[in-house]
Amino acid sequence: MKRVFNFSPGPSVLPLPVLERAAAEMCDANGTGQSVMEMSHRSKDYKPVIEKTEALLRELMDIPAHYNVLFLQGGASLQFAMVPLNLAGVEQVEQETSGGQNSPQKKVSYIDTGIWSDKAIKEAGKYADVSVGASSKDKSYTYIPVAPAPDADDAYYHITLNNTIVGTTWNKVPETGPVPLVTDASSCILSEPLDVSKFGVIYAGAQKNLGPAGVTVVIIREDLMGKAPSWTPVMLRYDTHAKEGSMYNTPPCYAVYMVGLVLEWLKNLGGIEAISQINREKAGLFYSYLESSKTFLSPVAKADRSLMNIPFVYRDVPADKKTDLESRFVKEAAAAGLVNLAGHRLVGGMRASIYNAMPIEGVKALIGFMEQFEHSIRSV
């Protein structure tokens, strides 16, 4: 069997033991004589699957009892709309009677730390009065800005916890007092301990640390549900899904099952504390190499560097040669079994995404290749 080291930002590498177990259970899951793909979501065979997945997530993240765990679809991108609709939406009658005076839209605050933050801000602007409290766009999103306190009348305060494209992360989340803190944790959930009680809503697409693409996890405090205006589509209401245990309609059954297998793997590894130590060791090795390299560097402020997504660029390369050298690096790395290292199309450069399932051997192999690559281009 040939396996490469997959540094994709998502969908990303999955733990090999999880893939092997899923393969073994493909035609006969849990002795049922059928694949999870074939099970009715309302059957006695599938119910334990989704219940076990939720229980494991609650255990690993220490999710308080007064939070609901939902398994939804549409990725984090759909949450860009669901969050303002459910937490800041207003009834149409209020809009119609305002006469264009003093918009009845509720106020919300966002911190702009990257492309995904910007998308969330633009989507929220359709349903709420958005204030951008701070932004790091002035330096190409290579740092985390100082977050101002929310206004007392804000319906919520939103941050993107880890910025996949630019490789920054919030090492200390803002204190928002009674204003609910909402976060997109798609690319860092389960990577290190997170105090769920500091947040009103945590949402995450699965395709980084949780499992395959297709399911989105939403962790939401109970008091924040049931506030969506009456015109909100039924499928876009959190309370719709909470009342039905994430089974108002057919959930992404197989993706939920895979998340459950990933969570079992993580628990057997020692839980979030254990994976956090491994992640810090992996990132530490790679950042240490970049610090010493004469060819590559990290463009991100040292205090704000991500453990999960590490962009890197050339130090001293003429602009007219940069693109060719980036392409050469990615091509030669792939030939060496190190795949998906191209930077995001909007920022260029290179990027190594080293999620939970990336073994430390993969990081060491990448560093070894980069050392050889440095020698090859400097000897020309």
For residue 99, the model assigns a pLDDT of: 54
Dihedral sign, Cα of residue 311, residue 314, residue 319, residue 322: negative
CB-CB contact of 366 with 7 (8 Å): yes
Residue range 12-37: average pLDDT? 95
pLDDT tens digits for range 69-98: 999 999 999 999 999 999 998 987 555 555
What percent of the chain lies above the pLDDT cut of 90? 89
For residue 380, the model assigns a pLDDT of: 55
Residues 6+ apart with CB under 8 A from 199: 173, 180, 181, 182, 183, 219, 221
Please, which pLDDT band fits residue 348 given cuts at 50, 70 and 90? confident
- Where do we find the tokens 């759909």? 78
242 vs 150: CA distance, rounded Å: 28
pLDDT tens digits for range 267-316: 999 999 999 999 999 999 999 999 999 999 999 999 999 999 999 999 98
Q: Is the pLDDT of residue 120 over 80?
A: yes
pLDDT tens digits for range 207-234: 999 999 999 999 999 999 999 999 999 9
CB-CB contact of 58 with 202 (8 Å): no
Average pLDDT, the chain: 94
57 vs 33: CA distance, rounded Å: 27
Residue range 95-104: average pLDDT? 57
CB-CB contact of 350 with 339 (8 Å): no
Fold of 5-12+271-378: Aspartate Aminotransferase, domain 1 (3.90.1150)
For residue 12, the model assigns a pLDDT of: 96
Architecture in CATH for domain 16-268:
3-Layer(aba) Sandwich (3.40)
Q: At what angle do helices 16-24 and 253-269 cross, to 10 degrees?
A: 130
Torsion, CA 11, CA 15, CA 21, CA 24, rounded to 10: 60
Active site residues: 116, 184, 208
Q: Which of 91, 178, 182 is nearest to 130 (CA)?
A: 182
pLDDT tens digits for range 235-279: 999 999 999 999 999 999 999 999 999 999 999 999 999 999 999
pLDDT tens digits for range 310-335: 999 999 877 777 788 899 999 999 99
265 vs 16: CA distance, rounded Å: 10
For the chain, the domains span 5-12+271-378, 16-268
For residue 83, the model assigns a pLDDT of: 98
CB-CB contact of 263 with 17 (8 Å): no
Q: Is the pLDDT of residue 102 over 80?
A: no
Bridge-based pairing of strands 5-6 and 338-339 is parallel
CB-CB contact of 206 with 187 (8 Å): no
